[in-house]
Every structure is written in structure tokens, then in C-alpha cells.
A and B are shown apart, each in its own frame.
Chain A
């Protein structure tokens, strides 16, 4: 089955750039049925969708982060990456990469989608 694994520094200084990579195994990142996404979770809080990328390189980001965010894909390595610039303490969170089923019309005619596989998550702390 598909497995995702986040990697990157666990500590980033304020105003610097947070960089994470997700390595995918058990599926090709070029699989057209899926998007590849980032989700984060501050300690004790809920989940926030950060953004996604398709194998073609097409991306879509949460507007709240869009000006600071870059998501890229390396199909040769079966990896996708996140870069978040000008970080502050508010960016401290567990960051997850996840495989997202691309939206489709289900049997009831509704727009369906879901995250079906997640990485274990990596804690990134923003602190000097």
C-alpha cells in the first residue's frame, strides 16, 4: 500500500524559510487519480489544509498562505515539497503530507474527494 514520509528540519528561525519534502512509496506520484497535499496541525488545535500539487505541477494553495507558499514536485524521485517563507511562531505545527483523491462525481451525483493516506507527520518549531 502507499506510504508517505515527511522529512526536513525540525527547527526554523523566525523570518526564515521552512522546507519539507514528502517521499511517496507504493504509488506513482504521476497517478492521475490523486493530488498530493500538505496539511498542518498546531499543537492542541485542528487541521488546516495548506495546498496541493498535481503530477503536472499544477498547484493550488490556501489563500491564507499563498503569498508565502511554494509547492513543487519531482516525479523522478517520487517526491513533492513545500517551502514556506517568512515564518513566524504561528507556523509552528505538525506538518503532514497526504494523498488526496481528486474530486469526482460519486454515485449520488455529488462532488466527492478524500485524503486516504497520510504521512506520520513532522513537528516544525519556529523559534530563535
Chain B
């Protein structure tokens, strides 16, 4: 069982906007920043969002992140077929003194 809670699945049609939620606690999301990773099957995760809402170079601005209290969310606007992947949230956990992950959300583009 993962420390951070994500919905197991999400879906949308091309062009739509979808959001994926991530819930934690005071020792992780509540006091530290959240990162989001995109994982296409059979490949390594790729950093999508860091420090709650920052995009690394090369990540389209269709992807955005936010954090409030002990929850965070990832929004994808203008959904494209290549966005079909698994998405993981992650946060530093003060109790663990290390990162914890969500269980992942499988995004399907219908």
C-alpha cells in the first residue's frame, strides 16, 4: 500500500482537460513539495513536474501542477494520445527522511 493516495485510473478524449489527484499527510505533502512523474510502459519514469508546479525544460505547458494542504493535483490540458501513460506523484517524507510515492494513475486517452 502506497503512502500517497492516487486514483488508479483516469481517462479523457483528445483535447480534453483531465486532473489527477494525490493525497498525503502532514509529514509529506503537508510540509514538502510534490513532484510528478510520467511512465510510459516498459520505460523509466520521467520527471514531469517538480517543486509543486515547476516544469523541467522540454515539458509542454499543457502539464501543470498544484498543491494545497496535504493534497496535490496534476492537470493535463489539450489531451493527446501520447499522454497515455502511468502518472506518479511523489513527496519527501520527514518521517522516512526520504521520498514516498503514490500508487500511480493509469491515464487512458479514449
Q: Are A49 and B99 in contact (CB under 8 A)?
A: yes
* Closest-CB distance, B59 to chain A (whole angstroms): 12
List residues of A (39-75) whose CB comes within 8 Å of B's CBs: 45-49, 51-52, 60, 62-63
Contact with A along B15-59 (1 / 0, CB 8 A): 000000000000000011101010000011111001110001000
Please state if B33 and A111 are interface contacts (CB–CB under 8 Å): yes
Q: For chain A, which range describes its interface: under 10, 10 to 19, 20 to 34, or 35 or more residues?
A: 20 to 34
Closest to A97 in B: B44
Q: B7 to nearest A CB, angstroms?
A: 13
Q: Mark B86-110, 1 if CB is under 8 A from A, else 0.
A: 0010101000111111111000000
Chain B interface residues toward A at CB < 8 A: 2, 31-33, 35, 37, 43-47, 50-52, 56, 88, 90, 92, 96-104
Q: A100-B99, A118-B44 are in contact. List 5 more A-B contacts (CB 8 A).
A: A46-B103, A49-B101, A108-B51, A111-B31, A115-B45
